[in-house]
Amino acid sequence: MSDPMMTSRRSFLGKSLAVLASGAALAACGKKEAPGPKALSCNDTTGLPPADLQMRTTLGYVDASVQPGKQCGGCQLYKAAPADGQCGACTIVKGPINPAGYCNSWMAKTT
């Protein structure tokens, strides 16, 4: 006759492995694809004088625009970066400027 404890132990281990396997499968379903290139961050204002920092704040500069169709890259005040993946500049907001950013002085580029 088989030992009831062995059956119970086997049953427990089998169920535990099934739960772990299904948990791993569910976790894999929620995973996203490998991340692409790191998002450009242009918030390093080291070395800017306090007046320039205050102007960034006053004009409401943000590194990622929440205004549809209004990004620094489409503003006539924006100075493009020398290469892709780098921060640009602005004629009125000092410091690094993200082409995907926005401030309250945004003006559409004219063609």
| CATH 1.10.20.10 is right for the domain spanning 41-111 | no
- pLDDT at site 33: 45
- Check residue 30 and give its pLDDT: 53
- Lookup: tokens for 7: 């059956």
pLDDT of residue 110: 87
Identify the pLDDT of residue 48.
Answer: 96
| pTM higher than the cut 0.85 | no
Distance of alpha carbon 16 from alpha carbon 93, whole angstroms? 59
Structure-token pair, residue 39: 């998002």
- Contact (Cβ atoms closer than 8 angstroms) between residue 48 and residue 90: no
Q: Is 93 exposed, middle or buried (0-12, 13-18, 19+ CB in 10 A)?
A: buried
What whole-number distance in Å separates Cα of residue 12 and Cα of residue 14?
Answer: 5
As averages over each run of 10 residues, the pLDDT of the chain (111 residues) reads 58 56 50 58 95 97 95 96 94 96 96 72
Q: Where are the domains of the chain?
A: 1-31, 41-111
Token pair recorded at residue 27? 């976790």
